[in-house]
């Protein structure tokens, strides 16, 4: 691993909620699918979608499941599968086996280190965490219970505490609360625990879907100086889609067409801004608490539950030192809801689609000899 912090533009094409539709994809280096590949996760549905993904011309494809991909949640399917496929039971093992393609990195609440090796590619690298889970809403897969009152911190799930702090890209089916999560009724439906986790991790890019009407992107600048209120944000800038009337819906984070992202990917122990010495497109083992020190969401400072989510001087024990020390260059995250399906079932007048969202992001070059 070279110590250089050289970076190069990497084009990431983001999609989610395709629901069996195989839309035309723009060119890019990396493809991310944030879940709901199908309507009910049958083998035939998954076969069609995965064949489409395998043929797509990207150096690597990162995929998580969504709540509609029910066979990929074997525990859920064992209990509730008959309600969906009572006349034709499906095999979760066979469905999961479809993801054995070497070109697809399928993530089930786990991390992978990605290194792009194509001679014609950018030769960049990054660490990604992907998860299919979303708050319970009806009888669907990969659910967890979250409080209806987002201020009820003590009940928030600790599911997201396992996202490693050195993650560069987070892919989740659910959006974080108040970011790209608004329904047609203008109600925020994302996960507050995930939003708090993103404050601590502060990845460069967070890709999601699930809430179709939330499609779009936001640049979130985190408040790292507030000492009194946890998990604060400094500002949010909503992306204006240039794709309306144009060929591509582009989010530029490189400084070429918009201000560069205020996030250098810094993390203690990382050589320069790179992701460490990793293998290309290789998922890690599912993350355990041993891989990432455990913490509890929603620290109530007045109640004496610690300093989690508090800003300030990273050398002070009165702030969230693990989230801040050596990581103050991580100030901004771009959140992208990449839902493709625009219309609602039964799609009166025909199905309508959003465009894929293309993200240009500068990532560290791993090969110092590359041009």
Q: How far apart are the first and last CA of the chain?
A: 16
Assigned domain for 22 exists? yes
Percent of the chain with pLDDT over 90: 75
Q: Report the C-alpha dihedral over residues 77, 80, 83, 85, rounded to 10 degrees.
A: 20
Reported as a pLDDT band with limits 50, 70 and 90, residue 9 is very high
Range of the domain at 43: 7-293+330-364
Q: Residue 183 has what pLDDT?
A: 87
How many independent structural domains does the chain possess?
1
Q: Residues 330-340: what's their mean pLDDT?
A: 99
Match 């034709």 to its residue by tokens.
88
Q: Across-strand partners of 182?
A: 188
Read off the CATH number of the domain in which 91 is found: 3.60.21.10
Specify the range with the lowest mean pLDDT, choosing from 162-176, 243-257, 352-366: 243-257
**What single string gives the DSSP state of each residue in 169-187?**
EEEESSPBTTSS-B-TT--
246 belongs to a structural domain: yes
Compute the distance between CA of residue 336 and CA of residue 208 in angstroms, rounded to an integer.
6
Q: Give the span between the Cα atoms of 275 and 178, in whole angstroms.
A: 29
Q: What is the pLDDT of residue 344?
A: 75
DSSP state for residue 5 in the 8-state scheme: -
Structure tokens at 39: 């309507």
Residue of higher predicted confidence among 266 and 286: 266
167-176 per-residue burial string, b: 16 or more CB within 10 A, e: under 16 = bbbbbbbbbb
Q: In the predicted model, what is the mean pLDDT of residues 24-53? A: 98
Is residue 120 situated within a structural domain? yes
**Domain membership flag for residue 279:** yes
**Residue 219 domain flag:** yes
**206 is a domain residue:** yes
Domain membership of residue 338 (yes or no) is yes
What's the chain's average pLDDT? 88
Residue 136 to residue 201: CA distance in whole angstroms: 24
pLDDT tens profile 102-127: 789 999 999 999 999 999 999 999 99
Question: In the predicted model, is pLDDT for residue 304 greater than 50?
Answer: no
In a domain, 101, yes or no: yes
Nearest to 356 by CA among 42, 55, 5, 56: 56
Is the CB of residue 361 less than 8 Å from the CB of residue 261?
yes
Identify the pLDDT of residue 269: 81
The CB density around residue 178, as the number of other CB atoms within 10 Å, is 18
pTM: 0.89
Looking at residue 158, its pLDDT comes to 80
Torsion angle defined by CA atoms of residues 56, 112, 217 and 243, in that order, rounded to the nearest 10 degrees:
-20
How many Å apart are CA 323 and CA 326, to the nearest integer? 9
Alpha-carbon distance 94 to 86, whole Å? Answer: 17
Band (pLDDT 50/70/90 cuts) for residue 35 is very high
Mean pLDDT of 331-335: 99
């Amino acid at each position: 691993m070279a110590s250089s912090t050289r970076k190069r533009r990497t084009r990431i094409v983001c999609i989610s909620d395709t629901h069996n539709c195989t839309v035309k994809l723009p060119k890019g280096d990396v493809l991310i699918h944030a879940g709901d590949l199908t309507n009910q996760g049958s083998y035939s549905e998954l076969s069609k979608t995965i064949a489409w993904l395998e043929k797509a011309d990207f150096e690597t494809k990162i995929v998580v499941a969504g709540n509609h991909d029910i066979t990929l949640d074997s525990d859920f399917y064992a209990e509730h599968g008959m309600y969906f496929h009572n006349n034709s039971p499906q095999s979760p093992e066979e469905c999961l086996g479809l993801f054995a393609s070497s070109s697809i990195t399928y993530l089930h609440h786990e991390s992978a280190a990605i290194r792009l090796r194509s001679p014609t590619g950018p030769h960049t690298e990054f660490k990604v965490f992907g998860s299919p889970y979303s708050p319970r809403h009806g009888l669907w897969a990969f659910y967890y219970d979250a409080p209806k009152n987002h201020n009820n911190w003590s009940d928030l799930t600790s599911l997201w505490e396992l996202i490693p702090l050195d993650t560069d890209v987070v892919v989740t089916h659910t959006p974080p609360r108040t970011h790209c999560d608004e329904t047609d009724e203008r109600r925020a439906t994302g996960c507050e625990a995930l939003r708090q986790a993103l404050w601590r991790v502060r990845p460069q890019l967070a890709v999601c879907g699930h809430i179709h009407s939330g499609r779009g992107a936001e640049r979130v600048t985190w408040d790292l100086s507030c000492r009194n209120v946890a998990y604060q944000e400094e500002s949010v800038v909503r992306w204006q889609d240039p794709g309306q009337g144009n060929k591509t819906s582009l989010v530029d984070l490189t400084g070429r067409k918009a201000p560069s992202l205020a996030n250098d990917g810094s993390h203690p122990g990382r050589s320069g801004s790179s992701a460490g010495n990793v293998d290309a497109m290789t998922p890690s083992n599912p993350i355990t608490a041993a891989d990432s020190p455990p913490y509890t969401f929603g620290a109530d400072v007045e109640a004496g539950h610690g300093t989690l989510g508090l800003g300030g001087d990273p050398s002070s024990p009165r702030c969230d030192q693990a989230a801040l020390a050596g990581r103050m260059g991580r100030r901004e995250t771009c959140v992208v809801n990449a839902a493709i399906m625009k219309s609602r079932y039964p799609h009166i007048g025909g199905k309508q689609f959003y465009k894929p969202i293309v993200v240009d992001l500068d990532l560290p070059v791993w090969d110092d000899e590359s041009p």
